[in-house]
Amino acid sequence: MKKDTAPLYYSNWQLFSLTFIRVLIGWHFLYEGLVKLFTPGWSANSYLLGSVGPFAPVFRSLANHPGLLKIVDILNIWGLIVIGISLFTGLLSRPLKLCGIALLLLYYLAYPPFASLGINVPVEGNYWIVNKNLIEMAALFVLYMFPSSHITGIDRIFSKQIDN
Amino acid sequence: MKQKSNNIFRRDFLKGLGALPFLGYFALKFKDNLAAEAEIKHKDYLKMLGVGNLEAPRIKYVPSLNTATNRIRLGLIGHGWRGEQLLQNFGFIHGEQVKENTVKGKYNEWLQTFLDQDDLNVELAGICDTFSIHAQRGVEISMNDIRPGGDKGTSKPAKIFPTFREMVESKDIDAVIIATPDHWHAPMAIAAARAGKHVFLEKPMTHSIEEAIELRNTIKSTGVVFQLGHENRQQMSFRIARELIEKGVLGTVSMIQTFTNRNGEYGAWIRERKFDKQGNVSNINWKEFLGNTPWYEFDARRYFNWHRYSEYGTGFIGNDFSHQYDCINQVLRVGIPEKVVAMGGQYYYKNVGDMPDVMNVIFHYPKKGYTVTYDGTLKNGIYRENYIMGSDAAMFLDLGIKIFKDDYSDRYRDVKINSADPLYVYTGGTEVDATTTATAQAYIKGGYGATFIDGRVMDASFLHVKEWIDAIRNQAKTSCDIDEGFDEAVTFNLANLAYTNNKQVIWDSETEKATLV
């Protein structure tokens, strides 16, 4: 079985583009997390309650359970911040890209973009199956397969390939 | 070789620095942007409305006082579906309900919530109903000890009184709950008050204006504690709405719109309930039911669907508008209108009674500078809140609140908000602070149910009966007392007069007379 080892050699522009998109997604995650952290009384409550689609009962039940809601809020805020810093700086970014994909998957499932799910969901565009969450997930997957942090991030300090 | 490797390392390391300016910019500026973001997303809605902190949500729940002694002996007159609901609020349910809500020896959540309700220290001492099956069921309920503060086998069965007259004269009864057809409300409440019994009376208060005057005078002269059964007096949304309007958030109010939207026979009060089929001439005291109304031969449909007959009921204006009116009256203190016009008809449910099923009423308040309207249909069930239209903003009000800015408002000229987005939202049944971010579509519920008080969700109907019991024990005032009830009864009866006579009705508040013109 082939191991998903990182290609060692990128052209400069390839490396730039991979790093650039990594930083952009990191920026997005980090800022989303910090906004929530610094907004007094922020909670995912109304987001979860308004959930639509086949998984809505699961998300709503989280909102209806105060203890669980507290945990969801903490995991969400700090998940976004940690993943954001990781992508931004290229630290432990490979495993945390998977965490980012998982987090985005939850957002995707809470408000899946299917026309049959009603018009009450406030969105700023028109989406069918594919929405920005799904595209960001795909971008993270590409970054997972073509990492850059071992060259242009803090991960290079721990990278055996460079040491070799 | 080592030299080459070092060169690659240095070159790549420099590449890695490419992200640094981004990180630096982010670190320097994100706080500024966060502040701006927070200002937009988490506006102080009360500040935006131009009001300080609200007092209404800070109301504390006060457990019943002086309940250890002084047990109050209740008599229920009218143990139909509503009477049974009221008994539950007072802490009495049937053993059947205990069984239905017990699974493998454990109480379910509904039953446990009921049992956790405060014990009001009341006894169900008497039952009176013209239908003997209903009366007997009341006795069974009185003997069920599984209830808040249950007596563990010491409950006495309630005494069945053949008519309300014996009950109100009985020394074994301290207070009565009246949940009968509307035409009996006033005569029973008057008789009870004259006999010194405190009165909890279901809405609508009376069947006519004359009865409303007589009942008010009787309650005032006897000094008994009176509560009209508008449980929405306990709803947090109306308390908040009253405070907001008093603080001027709507500007000058020029129009108030109220609605009933129901569809289907159940909503039109054509209903068949659990024991209706067993009712017949031998177990229903038909003569007592009719009272002073015109004589008809026994008719079970007339008896069980009395709401739909104008001899006994007050139409959907008495049954549903009275709720909307009381909500508006507690918020704006509209009082009794000077003129009323009404139109409508019975177009759809013609086979039972004479109740109109489409009705529009206009209530004029020229001195107050506004009009109250009521649009009711029993052939469309799309829900509408009450709308209170002010010069600065409009309030959509029911168990929740939404306030929208008027684009022509002076007060909110500097408030940058899209007029389609609410300025303020309160979602019923929740804590007020939890809902100040009006970012998502908020759902405003209609109807009657839970309210949020002192950090917890409570049944508004329980709070309403508790308030009456507390007032009896502690010589306090009730929130829907006889003056509030008088406003309600005169107002909706004016509408029924206008509809029935197809004329404008003028109310003279000095002489307390209605004139058809």
Note the pLDDT tens digit of each residue in B420-455: 788 888 876 555 444 333 333 444 555 666 787 877
Buried residues in A52-86 as b, exposed as e (16+ CB within 10 A): bbeebeebeebbeeeeebeebbeebbebbbbbbbb
pLDDT of residue B43: 54
**Which of A:141-160 have CB within 8 Å of B?**
151-153, 156
Round the CA-based radius of gyration of chain B to a whole number and report it. Answer: 28
Percent of chain B exceeding pLDDT 70 equals 90
pLDDT of residue A118: 56
Task: Please indicate whether, in this complex, the C-beta atoms of B441 and A89 are within 8 angstroms of each other.
Answer: no
* Shortest distance, CA A130 to any CA of chain B (angstroms): 23
Phi-psi region of B312 (alpha: psi -120 to 50; beta: other; left: phi over 0): alpha
Task: Please indicate whether, in this complex, the C-beta atoms of A152 and B9 are within 8 angstroms of each other.
Answer: no
Model confidence at B140: pLDDT above 60: yes
* CA–CA gap between residue B455 and residue A67 (Å, rounded): 16
Closest Cα in chain A to B9: A162
In this prediction, residue B7 has a pLDDT band, given cuts at 50, 70 and 90, of low
pLDDT of residue A160: 57
Tell which residue, B53, B41, B45, has the closest CA to residue B402.
Answer: B45
Within an 8 Å CB–CB cutoff, is residue B475 touching chain A? no
pLDDT of residue B390: 98
In this prediction, residue B379 has a pLDDT band, given cuts at 50, 70 and 90, of very high
pLDDT of residue B92: 96
Q: pLDDT, tens digit, for every residue of B250-307?
A: 999 999 999 999 999 999 999 988 899 999 999 999 999 999 999 999 999 999 999 9
Amino acid, res. B304: F
Helix, strand and coil content of chain A, in percent to the nearest 5, comes to: 70, 0, 30
pLDDT of residue B10: 63
Least confident of A37-41, B4-8, B276-280: B4-8
pLDDT of residue B428: 66
Model confidence at B156: pLDDT above 80: yes
Give the mean pLDDT of B478-485.
97
Within an 8 Å CB–CB cutoff, is residue B443 touching chain A? no
Give the mean pLDDT of A122-150.
88
Least confident of A113-117, B273-277, B402-406: A113-117
pLDDT of residue B437: 37
In this prediction, residue B457 has a pLDDT band, given cuts at 50, 70 and 90, of confident
Buried residues in B260-281 as b, exposed as e (16+ CB within 10 A): bbbeeeebbbbeeeebbeebee
pLDDT of residue A115: 67
pLDDT of residue B450: 74
pLDDT of residue B436: 38
Backbone φ and ψ for A128, nearest 5 degrees, come out as -140, 115
Model confidence at B180: pLDDT above 80: yes
Q: Is the confidence metric ipTM above 0.85 for this complex?
A: no
Mutation target to probe the A interface, by most A beta carbons within 10 A, among B42, B431, B439 is B42
Q: pLDDT, tens digit, for every residue of B42-68?
A: 456 777 788 888 888 888 898 887 677
Within an 8 Å CB–CB cutoff, is residue B29 touching chain A? no
Residues in chain B: 517
In this prediction, residue B349 has a pLDDT band, given cuts at 50, 70 and 90, of very high
Closest Cα in chain A to B39: A39
Backbone φ and ψ for B261, nearest 5 degrees, come out as -125, 110
In this prediction, residue B510 has a pLDDT band, given cuts at 50, 70 and 90, of very high
CB < 8 Å to B23, chain A = 23, 88-89
Model confidence at B158: pLDDT above 70: yes
* CA–CA gap between residue B235 and residue B397 (Å, rounded): 11
In this prediction, residue A116 has a pLDDT band, given cuts at 50, 70 and 90, of low
In this prediction, residue B18 has a pLDDT band, given cuts at 50, 70 and 90, of low
pLDDT of residue B426: 82
Model confidence at B224: pLDDT above 60: yes
Task: Please indicate whether, in this complex, the C-beta atoms of B437 and A46 are within 8 angstroms of each other.
Answer: yes
* CA–CA gap between residue B119 and residue B65 (Å, rounded): 11
Within an 8 Å CB–CB cutoff, is residue B109 touching chain A? no
Q: Which residue has the higher pLDDT, B3 or B172?
A: B172
Give the mean pLDDT of A110-117.
77
Model confidence at A163: pLDDT above 60: no
Give the mean pLDDT of B188-206.
98
3-state SS, B58-75, equals HCCCCCCCCCCCCCEEEE
Task: Please indicate whether, in this complex, the C-beta atoms of B19 and A152 are within 8 angstroms of each other.
Answer: yes
Q: pLDDT, tens digit, for every residue of A80-89?
A: 999 999 999 8
Q: Which residue has the higher pLDDT, B82 or A93?
A: B82
Q: How many CB atoms lie within 10 A of CB A32?
A: 18
pLDDT of residue A45: 82
Percent of chain A exceeding pLDDT 70 equals 85
Taking the model in full, what pTM does it have?
Answer: 0.78
pLDDT of residue B211: 98
Mean pLDDT of chain B: 90
Per DSSP, chain B holds a count of helices (H) and strands (E) of: 17, 20
* CA–CA gap between residue A8 and residue A161 (Å, rounded): 8
* CA angle B327–B328–B330, rounded 5-degree value: 70
**Quick one: CA dihedral B347, B353, B357, B361, positive or negative?**
positive
